[in-house]
Amino acid sequence: MLERKDIDNLANLARIALSESEKDKLQKDMESILGYVGELQNAPSYAEASEGKPGNHYLRNVMREDEEPFVAGVNTEIILSQAPKRKGDYYVVKKILGDSLT
């Protein structure tokens, strides 16, 4: 549990002035945050889960198989037809950088 001196020290380190009501609110908020962090410390780590320990079965690969999602080049013409300017299979854009960056 945080004490008032801890809040005073924190405010001093942050170089901020706090009223008594702000200190009370900060103390309550900090205790809530530290309580949550305490719960996280009890959560299983990735290393524990990958070792197959009981209760750690929730980590698994949910990615799809590595396969071709669509045939390459099928949509190229549709996409390029929307370009204001094009040269072959490329968009033509205004040059925004000079030869040197000085």
Q: Does pLDDT of 79 surpass 80? A: yes
- Residue pair 53/40 in contact by the 8 Å Cβ criterion: no
Mean pLDDT of 5-16: 94
Q: What is the pLDDT of residue 101?
A: 56
Neighbouring-strand partners of residue 90 = 87
Q: Give the rounded percent of residues in the chain with a pLDDT score beyond 70.
A: 78
| Residue 84 covered by a domain | no
Number of domains in the chain: 1
CATH number of 20's domain: 1.10.20
| Residue 28 covered by a domain | yes
pLDDT tens per residue across span 26-76: 999 999 999 999 888 887 666 665 555 555 555 566 777 777 777 888 888
Instruction: Tally the C-alpha atoms within 13 A of residue 87's C-alpha that lie toward its C-beta.
Output: 3
Mean pLDDT of 87-99: 85
| Residue 65 covered by a domain | no
| Residue 31 covered by a domain | yes
What's the domain range around 32?
A: 4-50
| Residue 68 covered by a domain | no
SS3 52: coil
| Residue 21 covered by a domain | yes
- Numbers of helices and strands, H then E, in the chain: 4, 2
